[in-house]
Structure 1
């Protein structure tokens, strides 16, 4: 009788373990589907021959058009887990008159502004654009910041930034690369 009871108890534990594993898998599927990055349709800056898609949906709120500022146009998108301040933010800026500095100097300037450290640099070629970028992190904080820049004709420049304060640099990099891959530029 005791052998039978031990097998029955062992079977119950295995069944509970199976249910627990199934629940974890279902939770993982739900989290992945809810956190999938959805991008907007391309948003055009017609006078510059530029278009880009920004994060929109699944918690992201995106502007629908470029906003004109003094010497630039910008487009941004924010991600908020609740009604408070965004925990992630993406922005594209088209500068009409850019400073003539190297990408590395820009990266160092950005890192200095947030008391951050450049973790890595790289570049991407998309359409006719070469985008140099850097991952910058602020020590002792969950802030990760990716800043990319591309020189354009006529001393114009395109900057792309993704900042997040959730301690997930990989998410920031994935978001940055997805935005960059949607860029389209035709010199007017």
Structure 2
């Protein structure tokens, strides 16, 4: 019994004295990498607020990404903002901005780049309209087979106008989602 206790204590101390890696594996994607993930591989964001809203709505698809500036075009399927609009595909345009974790000295912080995203859309109907602006960030979580996993989170500032009402702000509204294919 004493022998087993000493063995267990030795194993416990060995585990405690092992160095723990604080390094977080980050990604250093370029705009060309993002173009491959979002456009060529047809991955898109389902903006379902972590499952709190209908996942068949609010799909952000990318049509093109400029590999030098990060400017993109795409579409949003059935945006669900207040007040509700008919389900339709809405063209969006925006920018993904890459913030490098490489310092002026050429050193990496080890966390990978940061990816900000902003986009907007405008709907003009008969006697009503909607204009919305999204600002947020993307976090990449790693590949699962050929599919990149990731999340998007931010806020939407939106405005609704209708005949006889004028412009009403409905904002800010938090919106988040999951990268899928």
More strand by percentage: 2
Q: What range describes the TM-score normalised by the shorter chain of this pair?
A: under 0.3
- TM-score when scaled to structure 1? 0.25
More helix by percentage: 1
